[in-house]
Every structure is written in C-alpha cells, then in structure tokens.
Amino acid sequence: MEILQSGELRTGTEGRVGVRDLVDHLDTLSNIRRLAEQADKAARYLTILSDYPAMDPIPEQDARSEE
C-alpha cells in the first residue's frame, strides 16, 4: 500500500495529476487499507468465536407466564 501511496505522491509532485485528484486517490487508498485491516480483524474474531461450542437457543417463554 505504501508503494502505491508513494507512486501517487510522486505523480502529484511531478504535476501529472491535479491536487484534488491526488487527494481523492490517497483517500481511496486509505479507505481500502482500513477496509482490509477491519476484514482481517473480523476474520480473526470469527475464528476465535468458532472455537467456542454452540450455545442452546434461549427457550421462548410462555405468553401466559408474563401475565
């Protein structure tokens, strides 16, 4: 990801891309990086959760017992 960012910055300093486009591209790269980090974190949590035995569902209460 850093290679892509440095390439974007280089094209910006060389004037091959406008400032607004450069900022948009860098923001997009940052969003992609965060998305990948969050997906990795979610996958790790799901792996941990899958190690726990399944819990029995909570039994439904009889409607009469609430009265």
pLDDT in tens, 25-54: 889 999 999 999 999 999 998 888 877 776
pLDDT in tens, 51-66: 777 666 677 776 555 5
- Provide long-range contacts, Cβ within 8 A and 24+ apart, for 25-28: none
Give 67's Cβ-side CA count (13 Å radius): 3
Please indicate whether residue 43 or residue 10 has the higher confidence score (pLDDT): 43
* pLDDT score recorded for residue 66: 56
pTM of the model: 0.59
